[in-house]
Amino acid sequence: MTIVLIGIFFGLVLCGVALRAEARFRSEDRLPMQWWLDGEVTWSAPRWMALAFIPALSILMLVGVGVLLSNTRPRLGQEGMVIPSFIALGTTLLAAQFFHLWMVAKTVRWNGS
């Protein structure tokens, strides 16, 4: 039950961050999705797709790992690592979303839009 609640919490936070970014980037039709190392945008997506991609992928990952955790038993001695590992996964996915939005904001500001 704890895994489900943690997964729901991270899912809601990821969706909330995306909705807040929707308001911030409302003036943009397309948002960058990938960059070269020199900062050049290699491809972009429609705003709704760019903002929904990371939450959708993250929720799928959280559900998959949650199902795996509920149907398998941890190895002996690792029982106490299940919940911290799941929280670390959610935190990492949230950090990836913040990094992507930071890169988008930097690119939009750089292009003067």
Is the pTM higher than 0.95? no
In tens, the pLDDT along 11-52 reads: 999 999 999 999 999 999 999 999 998 888 899 999 999 999
**Would strands 30-35 and 41-46 be described as parallel, antiparallel, or unpaired?**
antiparallel
CB-CB contact of 10 with 58 (8 Å): yes
* pLDDT at residue 112, as a whole number: 63
**Which residues have C-beta within 8 Å of that of residue 39, sequence separation ≥ 6?**
107, 110
Cα torsion 4, 5, 11, 12: sign? positive
Bridge partners for 45 per DSSP: 31
pLDDT at 113 over 70: no
